[in-house]
A = this chain, B = another copy of it.
């Protein structure tokens, strides 16, 4: 494949230990009774165990680059990125529902981290500024973030319009829809990548297209949390750059980009009762080349002489990949992450014959279970 890098463009690997801890619940009940009380108990040990587990899982299922939005212990995550050999875009998620002083402190920390994180991992780590969402970041704070993003030439990553309720609340509070509001606040004047984009109207899609905002489509998380189905066919009609992300293992519940890509190719056909929307080729591009562009790693997103070689090898001898002539179709509609046998990042072999050469799998699985038991008790 010319488009070789597999990019998971949105996630929160710090929360990976909450996989399966509370499914099938209303969103507010899940957050208030499951996620938040557990997250309050997270320590450095939790984050390190969670990030190690997630990076191992991603590498073994063929992901070569991931974007992380998290608010705790990003240096620890960067160290695991360094050790593992994976490529990463690390963003310090900032919730601005606090005093201006605390807002400034968070932003200063993000700016400082920007330098620290990029110094780790021999160039495999880049950063963005990540105000969490329009509903958690007041307008004045967003304007501060935009100012710094411009000054530092950093892209912005932000959640946008994941649920119908948050959009309605935004309209009730500000009298306008969130994407329009973000455009007015200047958020789209720097390169921007929004996550979800489930509830966007035509005027908002026009705005995203006009400002060349990229979208991280997270179909499985959006289904599982009951958020809805993003209108990807309408985005593609407008030439909006659509990439794919898994979101957290707490709402997915795995980090398999093949399953995400397959869902992206399937869900819109059924939802719109039209089998011609989002072709296999579209979905493959979303998971690979579009992701590189969305992560501002376009220069290294193609496998050719002079570019950095990130690529994966698939075991094409599996029964579910026969007859073996329809390669793109099988990659999108038939394969899963477990068909990956080798993974290379920057020319270095990280997974060989399904074994991780850089991380200790047995130890990571042991530590993940220990760390989970520690926050349970």
Kindly state whether residue A206 has any CB partner on chain B within 8 Å.
no
CA distance A17 to B253 in the complex (A): 31
- Known interface pairs A226-B269, A276-B25, A333-B23. Does A368 touch B320 (Cβ–Cβ under 8 Å)? no
A369 vs chain B, min Cβ distance (A)? 5
Q: Which single residue of chain B is at the shortest CB-CB distance from A222?
A: B270
- Known interface pairs A53-B322, A334-B19, A372-B323. Does A228 touch B275 (Cβ–Cβ under 8 Å)? no
- Known interface pairs A23-B333, A254-B334. Does A57 touch B320 (Cβ–Cβ under 8 Å)? yes
The one of B25, B60, B164, B229 that contacts A275, using a Cβ cutoff of 8 Å: B25
The one of B56, B320, B368 that contacts A255, using a Cβ cutoff of 8 Å: B320
CA distance A333 to B253 in the complex (A): 5
1/0 contact trace for A260-279 toward B, CB 8 Å? Answer: 00010011011111111001
CA distance A253 to B318 in the complex (A): 13
Q: Which single residue of chain B is at the shortest CB-CB distance from A54?
A: B319
The one of B225, B324, B326, B338 that contacts A269, using a Cβ cutoff of 8 Å: B225
Kindly state whether residue A21 has any CB partner on chain B within 8 Å.
yes
Please indicate the chain B residues that have their CB under 8 angstroms from the CB of A337 in the complex: 320
Kindly state whether residue A91 has any CB partner on chain B within 8 Å.
no
Contact assessment for B319 and A60 in the assembled complex, using a CB-CB cutoff below 8 Å = yes
Please indicate the chain B residues that have their CB under 8 angstroms from the CB of A216 in the complex: none
Copies of this polypeptide in the complex: 2
Q: Which single residue of chain B is at the shortest CB-CB distance from A326?
A: B20
Q: Which single residue of chain B is at the shortest CB-CB distance from A323?
A: B372
Contact assessment for B329 and A275 in the assembled complex, using a CB-CB cutoff below 8 Å = no
Residues from 267 to 326 in A contacting B, C-beta threshold 8 Å: 267, 269-276, 279-280, 317, 319-320, 322-326
Please indicate the chain B residues that have their CB under 8 angstroms from the CB of A227 in the complex: 270, 273
1/0 contact trace for A328-339 toward B, CB 8 Å? Answer: 011001101111
1/0 contact trace for A125-153 toward B, CB 8 Å? Answer: 00000000000000000000000000000
Q: Which single residue of chain B is at the shortest CB-CB distance from A228?
A: B273
- Residue of A19, A21, A228, A274 most packed against chain B (CB within 10 A): A19
A250 vs chain B, min Cβ distance (A)? 11
Kindly state whether residue A349 has any CB partner on chain B within 8 Å.
no
Please indicate the chain B residues that have their CB under 8 angstroms from the CB of A334 in the complex: 19-20, 249, 253-254
- Residue of A24, A25, A253, A271 most packed against chain B (CB within 10 A): A24
CA distance A23 to B333 in the complex (A): 9
Kindly state whether residue A47 has any CB partner on chain B within 8 Å.
no
Contact assessment for B272 and A226 in the assembled complex, using a CB-CB cutoff below 8 Å = yes
Kindly state whether residue A7 has any CB partner on chain B within 8 Å.
no
Q: Which 9 A-B pairs have the closest CB atoms?
A: A223-B270, A20-B326, A20-B329, A226-B275, A338-B338, A323-B372, A253-B333, A57-B319, A223-B266
Chain A contacts to B: CB under 8 angstroms: 17, 19-21, 23-27, 30, 53, 56-57, 60-61, 164, 219-220, 222-229, 249, 252-256, 259, 263, 266-267, 269-276, 279-280, 317, 319-320, 322-326, 329-330, 333-334, 336-339, 361, 364-365, 368-369, 372-373
A-B contacts, 12 of them at CB < 8 A, read: A20-B330, A30-B275, A56-B319, A57-B320, A224-B333, A226-B275, A229-B271, A253-B333, A263-B266, A267-B270, A319-B364, A338-B339
